[in-house]
Each structure stands twice: as structure tokens, then as C-alpha cells.
């Protein structure tokens, strides 16, 4: 999803930009194994099942490994609070409500989103291998971390994978005044040759909610096109967006194609909330509310390329290489395809021996550990 917790002091791009020798004093290094272990300790401390804690820890570590820092450790307190408040069940398992050869309808039983997502993705993979395609929709789910993880799970199995989820209504439809739809991410992953892959993971809003929170904290205006005020007009005042307005769809204003982002968000609502009989649009609880279950809807699709023309991975490699090898625009150094920035970040994390986290976030995690009565996360000074 494209929202991040208000406690995080920096967003993904800014954190990556700040990772220079001059500002290393603001960061500490945490090995990925320790990230995963800490998440498991936290979730076990609030009574979740060990298998559920492991699923969540895997997703959070993957998000930060890939550079999606707004969806990793930054989100951990939210998961803890949801389980503590009872709005997210600490036990139970997803169940299949209806099933055909290539489809299934699942009830997530309000357990952690990564538990629901993993169950549904594995079911979609099984169906795709048997029938050529697997489409699984779920109701009764929760925040499931990065959408790309589920699509990549399909690609790792040699399939094309897609993943969608609806979210809290923080996006204002084109020509509207009030938020009615979510940031509703879309992900697709496709295997190519030599271990390469195409991995798209994007929100259908123009910007992450947390970036507006960041500007508010820094008392800085937001760029035009990020959000609107209570009247539906574009604003540069972050508080307008946070208190009475909302985010804009991908593309911004109508004249610059915002209606396309609006349409994509509605498509996700249909595939997830409407198809699955989950909450949808304005009926999804606000992300900060702890007095009601989320009942998010999610959709997972796996496609077996062998059901179509042979040679899929070779053509996929050719397509991506054509883009990567094209001449960069003036002032640019290279042309990338979806998934390349994440691969670069993963390579850096592996070389560094861990993820660089801002000290403010580490302090937040230390506070969480103390609150839960567990061992704090082990980090390394730079």
C-alpha cells in the first residue's frame, strides 16, 4: 500500500538519497536476519501464532531489502496495535468458501494480511499449474505489506503473477471533493531468462500518504498534484490533505490524466472488494481506526505461460533489454525497467551486510521492544 506510519521521519527516496558518508551518523545498520527475528519476537509477544509471525516477518524483511522502506519496519507498530486491539485476529486460518478448477473465493478470517496473501498466492499457483490460470480473491483480510511479494512468488514458480488490494479511502476521485477510494496498489511480475524478471509494484495514487505527513512534520509545502483540500481543489498545504482533503489519483488533475489513475483504482476495487464481497471504496475503515475490522479485499492471479505461445521468457528478456539498452535522455545515465531499482537496492544491502535505518526509526523500534517486554533489535554503528 502507499501509506506509511506517521512515526517514520523520512520516506523511501529521501532515505536512499541520504545514505552518503556525510550523513551516516544518522543511520545504523541492521542485518536482515535480525530484522526478521525482531518482527517475529514482536508478533509472538502479542499472542500471534508462530507461523503467522514468520509470514509477516518474511514480508517486512523483503520490503526493506527491496527498498520499500515505508512498508517494512516502519509498519510494524501498526500490525502490533491491530492485534492488540483485536481488530486483527491473532489466530485462525484462511478458508476456501467456493472453488472451481481455476478460481477460488477465500475468507481470510481477519488474520494477518501476509498469512492470507501467502495462502491465496500458493492456491493460485497450484491452479495455474493444473489449469493454466489461477484467480483467487479474498475477503476478511488486512494490510498485506508489499503487493510485489505475491506477484514475485508466482514468477519464482515460473508463472506470471499479479496481486491487488484495496485500502482505506484516502484518495479523492477526479472531480470529487472527498476521499472515496484507496491507494489500491497493482503488481505484476514476469520471469525472464538468466534469473531476470519484470516486477511492477505501484500505487494508483500520485504519491504515498506518508510523504504528505513528512512535509507536514517538516512544515514544508507539498508539490501541486499531490493532494486536494476540503473543496476538492489542488492544495500545497499538507494539513489540508491530512485533515479534510485527500490524495489525488495517479496523474494528478484531470488535465494531466488523473482520471486514468482514478479508473485504475476503481478497477482494483472491483477485483478485490466487489468480487470478494469485502469492504470497498468509502466503506473500508480508515487506516488509523482501531474500533472495526478492515475486511480488505484482495486478488491474486497466476498465469501459466506454457498455455500460450512458447518462448515467453526469451521474448520478455528481449523486451526488457531493448528498453535498458536504449539511449538515455539528456542528463540521464541509464534506462531502467520495473524491478531494476529494487535489484540495485538489494545488491547494496547485501554488500553492506544489512539495511540502513534512520536512528529515529530504530528509537521507535526500541520503544516498541520495551513496551512489549522483549529483546531490542540488534544494530551496528557505521
What pLDDT is recorded for position 54?
97
Percentage helix, strand, coil for the chain under 3-state DSSP, each rounded to 5: 45, 15, 40
Per residue in 122-155, pLDDT (tens digit) is 999 999 999 999 999 999 999 999 999 999 999 9
Three cell numbers written together for 299: 486478488
Please list the ranges in the chain whose pLDDT falls under 70: 1-24, 214, 217
Upper half-sphere CA count for residue 31 (Cβ side, 13 Å): 6
What pLDDT is recorded for position 169?
95
Q: What is the pTM of this model?
A: 0.90
What pLDDT is recorded for position 18?
38
What pLDDT is recorded for position 24?
63
Scanning the chain, the segments in alpha helix (DSSP H) are 12-17, 32-45, 50-65, 76-85, 113-131, 148-156, 209-217, 238-243, 258-269, 275-276, 312-324, 340-352, 359-372
Helix (H, G, I), strand (E, B), or coil: what is residue 362? helix
Q: Evaluate whether 189 touches 155 at the Cβ level (below 8 Å).
A: yes
Domains observed in the chain: 1-91+353-382 (1.10.1530.10), 93-206+248-352 (3.30.1370.60)
Three cell numbers written together for 150: 505475491
Taking alpha carbons only, the member of 219, 156, 144, 222 closest to residue 192 is 156
What pLDDT is recorded for position 2?
37
Per residue in 149-189, pLDDT (tens digit) is 999 999 999 999 999 999 999 999 999 999 999 999 999 99
Beta carbons within 8 Å of 83's beta carbon, 6+ residues apart: 43, 46, 47, 48, 89, 90, 112
Amino acid at each position: 500500500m502507499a501509506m506509511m506510519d506517521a512515526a517514520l521521519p523520512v520516506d523511501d527516496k529521501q532515505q536512499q538519497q541520504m545514505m552518503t558518508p556525510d550523513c551516516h551518523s544518522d543511520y545504523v545498520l541492521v542485518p536482515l536476519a535480525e530484522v526478521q527475528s525482531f518482527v517475529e519476537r514482536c508478533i509472538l509477544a502479542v499472542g500471534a501464532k508462530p507461523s503467522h509471525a514468520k509470514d509477516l516477518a518474511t514480508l517486512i524483511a523483503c520490503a526493506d531489502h527491496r527498498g520499500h522502506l515505508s512498508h517494512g519496519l516502519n509498519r510494524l507498530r501498526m500490525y502490533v496495535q491491530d492485534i492488540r486491539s483485536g481488530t486483527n485476529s491473532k489466530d485462525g486460518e484462511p478458508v476456501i468458501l467456493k472453488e472451481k478448477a481455476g478460481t477460488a473465493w477465500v475468507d481470510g478470517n481477519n488474520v494477518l494480511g501476509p498469512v492470507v496473501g501467502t495462502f491465496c498466492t500458493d492456491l493460485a499457483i497450484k491452479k495455474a499449474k493444473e489449469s493454466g490460470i489461477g484467480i483467487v480473491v479474498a475477503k476478511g483480510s488486512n494490510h498485506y505489506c508489499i503487493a510485489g511479494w505475491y506477484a514475485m512468488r508466482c514468477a519464482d514458480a515460473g508463472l506470471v503473477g499479479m496481486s491487488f488490494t484495496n485500502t482505506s479511502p484516502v484518495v479523492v476521485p477526479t472531480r470529487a471533493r472527498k476521499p472515496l477510494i484507496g491507494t489500491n496498489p497493482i503488481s505484476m511480475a514476469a520471469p525472464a531468462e538468466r534469473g531476470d524478471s519484470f516486477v511492477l509494484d505501484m500505487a494508483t495514487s500520485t504519491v504515498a500518504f506518508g510523504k504528505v505527513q513528512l512535509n507536514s512534520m517538516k512544515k514544508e509545502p507539498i508539490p501541486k498534484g499531490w493532494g486536494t483540500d476540503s473543496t476538492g481543489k489542488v492544495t500545497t498545504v499538507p494539513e489540508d490533505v491530512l485533515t479534510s482533503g485527500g490524495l489525488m489519483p495517479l496523474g494528478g488533475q484531470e488535465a494531466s490524466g488523473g482520471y486514468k489513475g482514478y479508473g485504475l483504482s476503481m478497477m482494483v476495487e472491483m477485483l478485490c472488494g466487489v468480487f470478494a464481497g469485502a469492504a470497498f471504496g468509502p466503506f473500508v475503515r480508515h487506516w488509523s481506526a482501531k474500533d472495526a475490522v478492515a475486511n480488505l479485499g484482495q486478488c491474486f492471479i497466476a498465469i501459466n505461460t506454457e498455455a500460450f505461445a512458447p518462448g515467453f521468457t526469451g521474448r520478455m528478456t528481449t523486451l526488457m533489454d531493448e528498453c535498458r539498452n536504449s539511449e538515455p535522455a539528456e542528463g540521464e545515465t541509464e534506462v531502467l525497467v520495473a524491478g531494476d531499482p529494487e535489484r540495485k537496492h538489494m545488491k547494496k544491502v547485501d554488500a553492506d551486510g544489512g539495511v540502513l535505518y534512520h536512528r529515529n526509526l530504530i528509537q521507535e523500534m526500541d520503544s516498541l521492544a520495551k513496551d512489549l517486554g522483549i529483546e531490542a533489535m540488534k544494530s551496528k554503528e557505521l
